[in-house]
Structure 1
Amino acid sequence: MPRLYSQAYLTACALTPPQAIRQAAALGYSDVGLRLWPNAAGAPQQFLIGQPAVLRETLAAQRDTGVGVFDLEIIRIGAGFDPRTYLPLLEAGAALKARALLVAGDDTDEPRLTDAYARLCELVRPYGLTADLEFMPWTAVPDANAALRIVIAAGRPASAGILVDALHFDRSGTTLDDIRALPRDLLHYAQVCDAPTRAPWTPMGRAFTVDEMVHTARCERLQPGEGGIALQALFSALPNDLPVSVEVVHLQRMAQMPPADWSRQCLAASRTLLDIQATQA
Protein backbone atom coordinates (compact mmCIF):
# COMPACT_ATOMS: atom_id res chain seq x y z
CA MET A 1 0.00 0.00 0.00
CA PRO A 2 1.43 3.43 -0.93
CA ARG A 3 2.58 5.56 1.96
CA LEU A 4 0.31 8.49 2.79
CA TYR A 5 1.81 11.98 2.88
CA SER A 6 0.28 14.98 4.61
CA GLN A 7 1.25 18.59 3.93
CA ALA A 8 2.04 19.97 7.39
CA TYR A 9 1.09 23.49 8.43
CA LEU A 10 4.71 24.70 8.47
CA THR A 11 5.26 23.53 4.88
CA ALA A 12 2.41 25.74 3.68
CA CYS A 13 2.16 28.29 6.49
CA ALA A 14 1.25 31.20 4.19
CA LEU A 15 -1.99 29.55 3.05
CA THR A 16 -5.49 29.60 4.47
CA PRO A 17 -7.06 26.21 5.30
CA PRO A 18 -9.00 25.93 2.01
CA GLN A 19 -5.98 27.08 0.03
CA ALA A 20 -3.80 24.50 1.79
CA ILE A 21 -6.24 21.72 0.93
CA ARG A 22 -6.51 22.67 -2.73
CA GLN A 23 -2.74 22.99 -3.05
CA ALA A 24 -2.22 19.61 -1.38
CA ALA A 25 -4.65 18.01 -3.82
CA ALA A 26 -2.86 19.51 -6.82
CA LEU A 27 0.52 18.23 -5.59
CA GLY A 28 -0.47 14.69 -4.62
CA TYR A 29 -0.73 14.87 -0.83
CA SER A 30 -3.53 12.83 0.72
CA ASP A 31 -4.02 15.12 3.72
CA VAL A 32 -3.05 18.40 5.33
CA GLY A 33 -2.19 19.58 8.81
CA LEU A 34 -3.67 22.87 10.01
CA ARG A 35 -2.61 25.18 12.84
CA LEU A 36 -5.91 26.53 14.08
CA TRP A 37 -4.53 27.39 17.53
CA PRO A 38 -1.26 29.36 17.84
CA ASN A 39 1.72 27.90 19.67
CA ALA A 40 1.94 31.14 21.69
CA ALA A 41 -0.23 34.20 22.12
CA GLY A 42 -0.09 36.25 18.94
CA ALA A 43 2.00 33.68 17.05
CA PRO A 44 1.17 32.79 13.43
CA GLN A 45 -1.79 30.50 12.82
CA GLN A 46 -4.54 29.76 10.31
CA PHE A 47 -7.93 31.26 11.11
CA LEU A 48 -11.01 29.08 10.99
CA ILE A 49 -12.38 28.75 14.51
CA GLY A 50 -15.29 31.14 14.97
CA GLN A 51 -15.38 31.91 11.23
CA PRO A 52 -18.29 29.94 9.69
CA ALA A 53 -17.56 31.13 6.16
CA VAL A 54 -13.99 29.80 6.31
CA LEU A 55 -15.23 26.49 7.71
CA ARG A 56 -17.74 26.16 4.88
CA GLU A 57 -15.08 26.95 2.30
CA THR A 58 -12.71 24.43 3.89
CA LEU A 59 -15.33 21.69 3.93
CA ALA A 60 -16.12 22.46 0.29
CA ALA A 61 -12.43 22.12 -0.59
CA GLN A 62 -12.38 18.74 1.16
CA ARG A 63 -15.45 17.56 -0.74
CA ASP A 64 -14.08 18.79 -4.07
CA THR A 65 -10.62 17.25 -3.68
CA GLY A 66 -10.95 14.29 -1.34
CA VAL A 67 -8.03 15.64 0.71
CA GLY A 68 -8.45 15.06 4.43
CA VAL A 69 -7.34 17.00 7.46
CA PHE A 70 -4.93 14.72 9.31
CA ASP A 71 -3.79 16.74 12.30
CA LEU A 72 -4.60 20.00 14.04
CA GLU A 73 -2.19 22.16 16.02
CA ILE A 74 -1.52 22.91 18.78
CA ILE A 75 -2.38 22.12 22.38
CA ARG A 76 0.22 23.05 24.99
CA ILE A 77 -0.07 21.58 28.48
CA GLY A 78 1.24 24.07 31.01
CA ALA A 79 0.94 24.38 34.77
CA GLY A 80 -2.58 25.87 34.72
CA PHE A 81 -3.89 23.63 31.95
CA ASP A 82 -7.65 23.29 31.47
CA PRO A 83 -8.48 21.01 28.53
CA ARG A 84 -11.91 22.62 28.13
CA THR A 85 -10.13 25.75 26.87
CA TYR A 86 -9.57 23.83 23.65
CA LEU A 87 -13.17 22.75 23.05
CA PRO A 88 -13.45 25.07 20.01
CA LEU A 89 -10.45 23.29 18.49
CA LEU A 90 -11.98 19.88 19.18
CA GLU A 91 -15.27 20.95 17.63
CA ALA A 92 -13.45 22.19 14.54
CA GLY A 93 -11.60 18.89 14.38
CA ALA A 94 -14.83 16.93 14.47
CA ALA A 95 -16.32 19.11 11.72
CA LEU A 96 -13.25 18.60 9.53
CA LYS A 97 -13.03 14.89 10.39
CA ALA A 98 -9.46 15.41 11.55
CA ARG A 99 -7.65 12.43 13.04
CA ALA A 100 -5.06 13.81 15.46
CA LEU A 101 -4.23 16.71 17.74
CA LEU A 102 -0.61 17.73 18.20
CA VAL A 103 0.13 18.10 21.92
CA ALA A 104 3.20 19.67 23.56
CA GLY A 105 4.06 19.19 27.23
CA ASP A 106 5.38 22.28 29.01
CA ASP A 107 4.60 21.55 32.66
CA THR A 108 7.81 20.49 34.45
CA ASP A 109 5.78 18.88 37.24
CA GLU A 110 5.52 15.47 35.57
CA PRO A 111 2.74 14.00 37.75
CA ARG A 112 0.62 17.10 37.09
CA LEU A 113 1.48 16.99 33.39
CA THR A 114 0.51 13.32 33.28
CA ASP A 115 -2.83 14.01 34.96
CA ALA A 116 -3.54 16.87 32.57
CA TYR A 117 -2.69 14.70 29.58
CA ALA A 118 -5.02 11.95 30.84
CA ARG A 119 -7.84 14.49 31.22
CA LEU A 120 -7.19 15.79 27.71
CA CYS A 121 -7.34 12.26 26.27
CA GLU A 122 -10.67 11.68 27.98
CA LEU A 123 -12.04 14.96 26.62
CA VAL A 124 -10.99 14.34 23.00
CA ARG A 125 -12.23 10.76 22.76
CA PRO A 126 -15.85 11.57 21.75
CA TYR A 127 -14.57 13.84 18.97
CA GLY A 128 -12.86 10.98 17.14
CA LEU A 129 -9.41 12.47 17.69
CA THR A 130 -6.17 11.24 19.17
CA ALA A 131 -3.96 13.39 21.41
CA ASP A 132 -0.47 12.83 20.03
CA LEU A 133 2.20 13.90 22.51
CA GLU A 134 5.22 15.26 20.65
CA PHE A 135 8.57 15.06 22.40
CA MET A 136 10.80 18.09 21.89
CA PRO A 137 14.16 18.52 23.62
CA TRP A 138 13.42 21.99 25.04
CA THR A 139 10.06 21.00 26.58
CA ALA A 140 9.04 19.01 29.65
CA VAL A 141 8.74 15.98 27.34
CA PRO A 142 12.30 16.05 25.98
CA ASP A 143 12.60 12.61 24.38
CA ALA A 144 10.74 9.48 23.33
CA ASN A 145 11.29 7.74 26.66
CA ALA A 146 9.68 10.64 28.52
CA ALA A 147 6.70 10.64 26.17
CA LEU A 148 6.18 6.90 26.63
CA ARG A 149 6.54 7.17 30.40
CA ILE A 150 3.86 9.88 30.55
CA VAL A 151 1.44 8.00 28.30
CA ILE A 152 1.84 4.81 30.35
CA ALA A 153 1.44 6.70 33.64
CA ALA A 154 -1.73 8.28 32.23
CA GLY A 155 -3.16 4.78 31.80
CA ARG A 156 -2.58 4.50 28.04
CA PRO A 157 -5.97 6.01 27.14
CA ALA A 158 -7.52 4.84 23.88
CA SER A 159 -7.02 8.32 22.41
CA ALA A 160 -3.34 8.58 23.43
CA GLY A 161 -0.51 8.80 20.94
CA ILE A 162 3.16 9.70 20.56
CA LEU A 163 4.39 11.84 17.68
CA VAL A 164 7.90 11.34 16.32
CA ASP A 165 9.39 14.36 14.55
CA ALA A 166 12.65 13.57 12.75
CA LEU A 167 14.22 16.82 13.88
CA HIS A 168 13.43 16.23 17.56
CA PHE A 169 14.49 12.59 17.30
CA ASP A 170 17.92 13.71 16.18
CA ARG A 171 18.39 16.55 18.67
CA SER A 172 16.88 14.92 21.75
CA GLY A 173 19.28 12.02 22.13
CA THR A 174 16.49 9.55 21.38
CA THR A 175 17.92 6.32 19.97
CA LEU A 176 16.61 3.97 17.31
CA ASP A 177 16.02 1.39 20.03
CA ASP A 178 13.88 3.97 21.85
CA ILE A 179 11.83 4.40 18.67
CA ARG A 180 11.46 0.65 18.20
CA ALA A 181 10.20 0.37 21.78
CA LEU A 182 7.22 2.64 21.10
CA PRO A 183 4.04 0.51 20.92
CA ARG A 184 2.49 0.44 17.45
CA ASP A 185 -0.95 1.44 18.73
CA LEU A 186 0.49 4.74 20.00
CA LEU A 187 1.92 5.72 16.61
CA HIS A 188 -0.51 7.49 14.31
CA TYR A 189 1.85 9.51 12.12
CA ALA A 190 5.41 10.86 12.02
CA GLN A 191 6.94 14.10 10.78
CA VAL A 192 9.82 14.27 8.30
CA CYS A 193 12.36 16.99 7.57
CA ASP A 194 16.14 17.26 7.62
CA ALA A 195 18.72 19.49 9.31
CA PRO A 196 22.41 19.65 10.25
CA THR A 197 23.20 17.29 13.11
CA ARG A 198 25.87 19.49 14.72
CA ALA A 199 26.44 23.22 14.59
CA PRO A 200 28.56 23.54 11.42
CA TRP A 201 30.16 26.88 12.18
CA THR A 202 32.40 25.49 14.95
CA PRO A 203 35.66 23.66 14.18
CA MET A 204 34.52 20.25 15.49
CA GLY A 205 30.77 20.85 15.62
CA ARG A 206 28.90 21.02 18.89
CA ALA A 207 25.49 20.40 20.37
CA PHE A 208 22.87 23.04 19.60
CA THR A 209 21.63 25.52 22.15
CA VAL A 210 17.92 25.64 22.96
CA ASP A 211 17.55 28.90 21.02
CA GLU A 212 19.20 27.33 17.99
CA MET A 213 16.98 24.24 18.19
CA VAL A 214 13.81 26.34 18.43
CA HIS A 215 14.93 28.55 15.53
CA THR A 216 15.58 25.57 13.28
CA ALA A 217 12.27 23.92 14.19
CA ARG A 218 10.23 27.02 13.44
CA CYS A 219 12.20 28.78 10.71
CA GLU A 220 14.98 26.79 9.05
CA ARG A 221 14.39 23.09 8.41
CA LEU A 222 15.89 21.38 5.38
CA GLN A 223 14.27 19.14 2.82
CA PRO A 224 14.86 15.39 3.32
CA GLY A 225 18.30 14.46 2.02
CA GLU A 226 19.81 17.94 2.47
CA GLY A 227 20.99 17.51 6.06
CA GLY A 228 22.56 14.88 8.25
CA ILE A 229 19.64 13.28 10.12
CA ALA A 230 19.57 9.49 9.78
CA LEU A 231 16.16 9.57 8.15
CA GLN A 232 16.29 6.17 6.49
CA ALA A 233 17.33 4.53 9.74
CA LEU A 234 14.60 6.36 11.65
CA PHE A 235 11.83 5.45 9.25
CA SER A 236 13.10 1.87 9.08
CA ALA A 237 12.54 1.76 12.84
CA LEU A 238 8.99 3.05 12.41
CA PRO A 239 6.12 1.07 10.86
CA ASN A 240 6.26 1.05 7.05
CA ASP A 241 2.59 1.99 6.79
CA LEU A 242 2.81 4.99 9.12
CA PRO A 243 1.46 8.19 7.49
CA VAL A 244 4.10 10.88 7.08
CA SER A 245 3.58 14.58 7.73
CA VAL A 246 5.98 16.55 5.55
CA GLU A 247 6.99 19.37 7.89
CA VAL A 248 9.65 21.48 6.23
CA VAL A 249 9.80 25.20 6.89
CA HIS A 250 12.64 27.41 5.71
CA LEU A 251 11.34 30.95 5.73
CA GLN A 252 14.17 32.47 3.69
CA ARG A 253 13.94 29.92 0.88
CA MET A 254 10.13 29.87 0.93
CA ALA A 255 10.06 33.65 0.37
CA GLN A 256 11.87 33.15 -2.95
CA MET A 257 9.26 30.94 -4.65
CA PRO A 258 5.50 30.33 -4.88
CA PRO A 259 4.12 28.22 -2.01
CA ALA A 260 3.22 25.37 -4.34
CA ASP A 261 6.80 25.08 -5.62
CA TRP A 262 8.19 24.73 -2.10
CA SER A 263 5.60 22.17 -1.06
CA ARG A 264 6.14 20.21 -4.27
CA GLN A 265 9.89 20.06 -3.66
CA CYS A 266 9.39 18.89 -0.08
CA LEU A 267 7.03 16.10 -1.12
CA ALA A 268 9.33 14.97 -3.92
CA ALA A 269 12.33 14.86 -1.57
CA SER A 270 10.33 12.90 1.03
CA ARG A 271 9.14 10.37 -1.53
CA THR A 272 12.60 9.94 -2.98
CA LEU A 273 13.93 9.04 0.44
CA LEU A 274 11.05 7.09 1.96
CA ASP A 275 9.36 5.37 -0.96
CA ILE A 276 12.65 3.87 -2.12
CA GLN A 277 13.29 2.70 1.43
CA ALA A 278 9.83 1.08 1.59
CA THR A 279 10.50 -0.71 -1.70
CA GLN A 280 13.75 -2.09 -0.34
CA ALA A 281 12.23 -3.19 2.99
Structure 2
Amino acid sequence: MVTPDIFSLRSYRDLYGSVDGLAKVALDCGLEVYDLSGVTITDDEATSLAELDEFLEFARALDATWVQSRMPVDNAESRAVYREAARRTSDAGFGLAFEYSPFVPIKNLRSAAEFVGAVAEHCPRQALIIDTWHFYRTGDTLADLRALDPALFGYLQVDDALPLGPDLRFDTLNRRAMPGEGLLPLREFLETCIACGLEGVISVEVMSEAHRGMPLDDYVATVARTSHELLATVRSS
Protein backbone atom coordinates (compact mmCIF):
# COMPACT_ATOMS: atom_id res chain seq x y z
CA MET A 1 0.00 0.00 0.00
CA VAL A 2 1.14 3.54 -0.73
CA THR A 3 0.10 7.06 0.28
CA PRO A 4 0.65 9.65 -2.46
CA ASP A 5 0.72 13.25 -1.27
CA ILE A 6 -0.99 16.19 -2.89
CA PHE A 7 2.24 17.77 -4.11
CA SER A 8 3.36 14.63 -5.96
CA LEU A 9 -0.11 14.09 -7.42
CA ARG A 10 -0.32 17.65 -8.68
CA SER A 11 3.13 17.43 -10.23
CA TYR A 12 2.26 14.17 -11.98
CA ARG A 13 -1.08 15.51 -13.23
CA ASP A 14 0.45 18.75 -14.47
CA LEU A 15 3.16 16.82 -16.32
CA TYR A 16 0.98 14.10 -17.85
CA GLY A 17 -2.50 15.62 -17.88
CA SER A 18 -4.01 13.19 -15.37
CA VAL A 19 -3.01 10.58 -12.79
CA ASP A 20 -4.40 7.71 -14.87
CA GLY A 21 -0.89 6.58 -15.76
CA LEU A 22 0.04 6.51 -12.09
CA ALA A 23 -3.03 4.41 -11.35
CA LYS A 24 -1.98 1.93 -14.05
CA VAL A 25 1.58 1.70 -12.70
CA ALA A 26 0.27 1.03 -9.20
CA LEU A 27 -2.07 -1.65 -10.51
CA ASP A 28 0.66 -3.30 -12.59
CA CYS A 29 2.95 -3.35 -9.54
CA GLY A 30 0.29 -4.77 -7.26
CA LEU A 31 0.23 -1.62 -5.13
CA GLU A 32 -2.95 -0.39 -3.47
CA VAL A 33 -3.35 3.34 -3.00
CA TYR A 34 -4.78 3.24 0.51
CA ASP A 35 -4.98 6.94 1.34
CA LEU A 36 -4.09 10.37 0.02
CA SER A 37 -2.24 13.02 2.02
CA GLY A 38 -3.78 15.41 2.86
CA VAL A 39 -6.53 17.99 2.41
CA THR A 40 -6.28 21.20 4.46
CA ILE A 41 -9.54 22.51 5.91
CA THR A 42 -9.73 26.09 7.21
CA ASP A 43 -12.42 28.74 7.65
CA ASP A 44 -11.91 29.69 3.99
CA GLU A 45 -14.75 27.60 2.60
CA ALA A 46 -14.13 28.19 -1.10
CA THR A 47 -10.43 27.33 -0.96
CA SER A 48 -10.92 24.34 1.34
CA LEU A 49 -13.70 22.76 -0.71
CA ALA A 50 -11.90 23.41 -3.99
CA GLU A 51 -8.90 21.51 -2.63
CA LEU A 52 -11.21 18.76 -1.42
CA ASP A 53 -12.74 18.43 -4.89
CA GLU A 54 -9.22 18.06 -6.26
CA PHE A 55 -8.53 15.30 -3.74
CA LEU A 56 -11.75 13.49 -4.56
CA GLU A 57 -10.84 13.50 -8.25
CA PHE A 58 -7.49 11.93 -7.38
CA ALA A 59 -9.16 9.44 -5.02
CA ARG A 60 -11.55 8.27 -7.73
CA ALA A 61 -8.75 7.85 -10.27
CA LEU A 62 -6.53 5.94 -7.83
CA ASP A 63 -9.31 3.99 -6.10
CA ALA A 64 -8.19 5.20 -2.67
CA THR A 65 -9.93 4.26 0.57
CA TRP A 66 -9.21 7.32 2.71
CA VAL A 67 -8.48 11.01 2.28
CA GLN A 68 -6.33 12.40 5.07
CA SER A 69 -7.35 15.74 6.55
CA ARG A 70 -5.83 18.43 8.73
CA MET A 71 -7.36 21.58 10.22
CA PRO A 72 -4.81 24.29 11.12
CA VAL A 73 -7.58 26.73 12.08
CA ASP A 74 -10.15 25.78 14.73
CA ASN A 75 -13.21 28.00 14.99
CA ALA A 76 -16.93 27.75 14.30
CA GLU A 77 -16.43 28.49 10.61
CA SER A 78 -13.67 25.92 10.06
CA ARG A 79 -15.70 23.27 11.87
CA ALA A 80 -18.68 23.99 9.62
CA VAL A 81 -16.45 23.70 6.55
CA TYR A 82 -15.05 20.43 7.90
CA ARG A 83 -18.56 19.01 8.33
CA GLU A 84 -19.35 19.90 4.73
CA ALA A 85 -16.08 18.32 3.59
CA ALA A 86 -16.95 15.19 5.56
CA ARG A 87 -20.37 15.02 3.90
CA ARG A 88 -18.93 15.42 0.41
CA THR A 89 -16.20 12.86 1.03
CA SER A 90 -18.67 10.34 2.42
CA ASP A 91 -21.12 10.91 -0.44
CA ALA A 92 -18.26 10.28 -2.88
CA GLY A 93 -17.58 6.90 -1.26
CA PHE A 94 -14.40 7.66 0.65
CA GLY A 95 -13.47 7.98 4.29
CA LEU A 96 -12.12 11.19 5.81
CA ALA A 97 -9.29 10.53 8.27
CA PHE A 98 -8.37 13.39 10.59
CA GLU A 99 -4.76 13.76 11.70
CA TYR A 100 -3.96 15.75 14.82
CA SER A 101 -0.47 16.94 15.69
CA PRO A 102 1.43 19.36 17.94
CA PHE A 103 1.23 21.96 15.17
CA VAL A 104 -2.55 22.45 14.95
CA PRO A 105 -5.14 23.63 17.50
CA ILE A 106 -6.63 20.15 17.95
CA LYS A 107 -3.39 18.70 19.22
CA ASN A 108 -4.10 15.60 21.29
CA LEU A 109 -5.99 12.34 21.02
CA ARG A 110 -8.82 13.18 23.39
CA SER A 111 -9.71 16.49 21.73
CA ALA A 112 -9.35 14.93 18.27
CA ALA A 113 -11.66 12.06 19.25
CA GLU A 114 -14.24 14.54 20.56
CA PHE A 115 -14.06 16.52 17.31
CA VAL A 116 -14.26 13.54 14.96
CA GLY A 117 -16.92 11.86 17.09
CA ALA A 118 -19.19 14.88 16.69
CA VAL A 119 -18.72 14.84 12.91
CA ALA A 120 -19.30 11.07 12.79
CA GLU A 121 -22.76 11.53 14.31
CA HIS A 122 -23.85 13.06 10.99
CA CYS A 123 -21.49 11.53 8.39
CA PRO A 124 -20.30 7.92 8.04
CA ARG A 125 -16.68 6.91 7.50
CA GLN A 126 -15.12 9.52 9.76
CA ALA A 127 -12.01 8.44 11.64
CA LEU A 128 -8.76 9.39 13.30
CA ILE A 129 -5.23 8.75 12.14
CA ILE A 130 -2.87 8.14 15.02
CA ASP A 131 0.75 8.91 14.19
CA THR A 132 3.09 7.56 16.85
CA TRP A 133 5.46 10.53 16.57
CA HIS A 134 2.58 12.96 17.09
CA PHE A 135 1.07 10.77 19.82
CA TYR A 136 4.13 10.97 22.02
CA ARG A 137 5.14 14.52 21.11
CA THR A 138 1.71 15.86 22.12
CA GLY A 139 1.90 14.20 25.53
CA ASP A 140 -0.71 11.52 24.84
CA THR A 141 -0.58 8.44 27.06
CA LEU A 142 -1.58 4.82 26.77
CA ALA A 143 -4.52 5.65 29.05
CA ASP A 144 -5.71 8.09 26.36
CA LEU A 145 -5.36 5.32 23.80
CA ARG A 146 -7.40 2.92 25.94
CA ALA A 147 -10.15 5.54 26.24
CA LEU A 148 -10.57 5.87 22.46
CA ASP A 149 -13.77 4.51 20.95
CA PRO A 150 -12.57 1.88 18.44
CA ALA A 151 -15.29 3.04 16.04
CA LEU A 152 -13.36 6.30 15.61
CA PHE A 153 -10.05 4.60 14.82
CA GLY A 154 -8.97 4.68 11.19
CA TYR A 155 -5.39 3.48 10.93
CA LEU A 156 -1.88 3.98 12.27
CA GLN A 157 1.12 5.86 11.02
CA VAL A 158 4.09 4.29 12.76
CA ASP A 159 7.49 5.92 13.06
CA ASP A 160 10.10 6.37 15.74
CA ALA A 161 11.81 9.47 17.10
CA LEU A 162 15.30 10.72 17.80
CA PRO A 163 16.02 12.83 20.90
CA LEU A 164 14.25 16.20 20.85
CA GLY A 165 16.09 19.06 19.21
CA PRO A 166 15.48 22.80 19.63
CA ASP A 167 12.89 22.96 16.82
CA LEU A 168 9.97 20.52 16.99
CA ARG A 169 8.79 21.30 13.48
CA PHE A 170 12.27 20.58 12.11
CA ASP A 171 12.27 17.35 14.08
CA THR A 172 8.97 16.16 12.62
CA LEU A 173 10.15 16.78 9.06
CA ASN A 174 13.75 15.62 9.38
CA ARG A 175 14.48 13.66 12.55
CA ARG A 176 12.13 10.72 12.65
CA ALA A 177 13.56 7.22 12.83
CA MET A 178 12.74 3.81 11.45
CA PRO A 179 10.36 1.78 13.64
CA GLY A 180 12.24 0.35 16.60
CA GLU A 181 15.38 2.41 15.97
CA GLY A 182 14.48 5.43 18.09
CA LEU A 183 13.30 6.32 21.58
CA LEU A 184 9.55 5.70 21.43
CA PRO A 185 8.00 2.71 23.28
CA LEU A 186 6.38 1.37 20.13
CA ARG A 187 6.01 -2.22 21.32
CA GLU A 188 3.91 -1.11 24.29
CA PHE A 189 1.93 1.21 22.03
CA LEU A 190 1.09 -1.56 19.57
CA GLU A 191 0.26 -4.03 22.31
CA THR A 192 -2.19 -1.51 23.75
CA CYS A 193 -3.77 -1.01 20.33
CA ILE A 194 -4.30 -4.75 19.98
CA ALA A 195 -5.70 -5.08 23.50
CA CYS A 196 -8.18 -2.26 22.81
CA GLY A 197 -9.32 -3.58 19.44
CA LEU A 198 -7.57 -0.84 17.48
CA GLU A 199 -6.46 -3.03 14.62
CA GLY A 200 -6.05 -2.35 10.93
CA VAL A 201 -3.57 -0.93 8.47
CA ILE A 202 -0.18 0.22 9.71
CA SER A 203 1.38 2.88 7.52
CA VAL A 204 5.07 3.65 8.03
CA GLU A 205 5.90 7.35 7.69
CA VAL A 206 9.55 8.15 8.28
CA MET A 207 10.53 11.70 7.38
CA SER A 208 14.26 11.84 7.94
CA GLU A 209 17.16 13.77 6.49
CA ALA A 210 19.33 10.74 7.25
CA HIS A 211 17.24 8.49 5.00
CA ARG A 212 16.00 10.95 2.38
CA GLY A 213 18.93 10.36 0.06
CA MET A 214 18.75 6.57 0.15
CA PRO A 215 18.04 4.72 -3.10
CA LEU A 216 14.34 3.89 -3.16
CA ASP A 217 14.87 0.12 -3.17
CA ASP A 218 17.13 0.38 -0.12
CA TYR A 219 14.68 2.65 1.67
CA VAL A 220 11.74 0.32 1.08
CA ALA A 221 13.79 -2.68 2.20
CA THR A 222 14.83 -0.87 5.38
CA VAL A 223 11.25 0.14 6.17
CA ALA A 224 10.09 -3.45 5.64
CA ARG A 225 12.87 -4.94 7.75
CA THR A 226 12.51 -2.61 10.72
CA SER A 227 8.72 -2.85 10.66
CA HIS A 228 8.76 -6.65 10.59
CA GLU A 229 11.30 -6.75 13.41
CA LEU A 230 9.13 -4.47 15.54
CA LEU A 231 5.96 -6.45 14.83
CA ALA A 232 7.77 -9.68 15.67
CA THR A 233 8.44 -8.38 19.19
CA VAL A 234 4.76 -7.53 19.58
CA ARG A 235 3.57 -10.93 18.42
CA SER A 236 5.98 -12.76 20.71
CA SER A 237 5.24 -10.73 23.84
> Normalising by the residue count of structure 2, what TM-score does the alignment of the two structures yield?
0.88
* Separation of aligned partners in 2, 1:263 and 1:252: 14
| Alignment of structure 1 residues 1-281 onto 2, 5 Å | 31-36=1-6, 38=7, 47-49=11-13, 55-82=19-46, 83-85=48-50, 86-109=52-75, 111-156=76-121, 157-196=123-162, 198-199=164-165, 212-239=167-194, 241-255=199-213, 257-277=214-234, 279-280=235-236
Which structure 2 segments of 5+ residues have no match?
none
* Separation of aligned partners in 1, 2:18 and 2:120: 37
* Separation of aligned partners in 2, 1:265 and 1:126: 38
Pairwise CA RMSD: 2.2
Residue 51 to residue 275, structure 1, CA distance change in 2 (3 Å): farther
1:251 shift after superposition: 2.3
- Identify the residue that residue 18 of structure 1 maps to in structure 2: none
Amino acid at match of 2:34: F
* Separation of aligned partners in 2, 1:154 and 1:254: 36
Which structure 1 segments of 5+ residues have no match?
1-30, 39-43, 200-208
Residue by residue, what CA displacement relative to the aligned partner does 1:60-106 show, whole Å, maximum 9, x if unpaired?
A: 22331221001101111222134431212101101211011111111
Contact 2:162–2:175 (Cα < 8 Å) also in 1: no
Return the structure number with greater relative CO, CA threshold 8 A, min gap 6.
1
SS at match of 1:119: helix
Q: Count residues in correspondence.
A: 231
* % identity of equivalent residues: 23
* Separation of aligned partners in 2, 1:221 and 1:262: 14
SS at match of 1:238: helix
Contact 1:194–1:225 (Cα < 8 Å) also in 2: yes
SS at match of 1:268: helix
